[in-house]
Amino acid sequence: MYSVLHPTYFPNIVTFALLERSNVVWEVEDNYQKQTFRNRCHIATDQGLHMLNIPIKHVGGNEGRQKYKTVQLDNSYAWQRQHWRTLQTAYRASPFFEYYEDEIAPLFEKRHTQLLDFNFKTIETICQCLQIEMPMEKTSRYQKDIMDPSTRQVPFMDVRYLVNAKKRLAFTQPPYAQVFADRHGFLENLSILDLLFNEGPRATVLLQDLKLDFIDA
């Protein structure tokens, strides 16, 4: 089974569960859309659910829409420093933050220019932390309907809708230990960072056990 996914900013747990158990093809030929996980992710802080948002340079005037792969980061604002400080504050007390800190920190120290390239870096880093093979296959053209592509004789699962930050998924995630669960209860389907920092190597087992029956193949 091949799953077609968008490369997002530190993908959420459902996205990584699909990555861990299926052959992933990355959608890289689509147009950029606002209010998606392309440039944001959700974590848990002492204040509850928190969104990390990457500022981008928006195309205006006569240029109209822009391809996702051409979107540039707006580095006029020190968002990398802010994101890393927020992660340190949120997860310093988690069991595995210090264990993975040296792998994650460099992502926020080196200046990046392209959103898509940076997102791939975050995914690759998490794959290395969890010892999961990084999928490398990418789309070569945009197809609105890819459920039965003529170029392949294998089943495809179009789960590109998972990039929608406002779409609530019809599933219940079994709780795992979260730092601030005593204050805010269990927060499900956060960024993979939350699972990594709280559960460490056991995260791969939880990804494998996560029921994804709500996804239509």
User: What are the residue ranges spanned by the domains of the chain?
Assistant: 2-209
- Residues 116-138: what's their mean pLDDT? 96
Percent above pLDDT 90 for the chain: 77
- CA 127 distance to own-chain centroid: 12
> Alpha-carbon distance 168 to 19, whole Å?
20
Residue 50 or residue 153, greater confidence = 50
The strand ranges marked E within 6-47 are: 23-26, 40-45
For all residues of the chain together, what is the average pLDDT?
A: 91
**Residues 83/105, Cβ–Cβ less than 8 Å:** no
Question: pTM to 2 decimals?
Answer: 0.92
Q: What's the confidence (pLDDT) of residue 65?
A: 80
Flag whether pLDDT at 206 surpasses 70. yes
The answer for 35, left when phi > 0, alpha when psi is -120 to 50, beta otherwise, is left
Residues 6+ apart with CB under 8 A from 136: none
Token match 């998972």: residue? 162
pLDDT tens readout for residues 80-116: 999 999 999 999 999 999 999 999 999 999 999 999 9
> Alpha-carbon distance 192 to 127, whole Å?
10
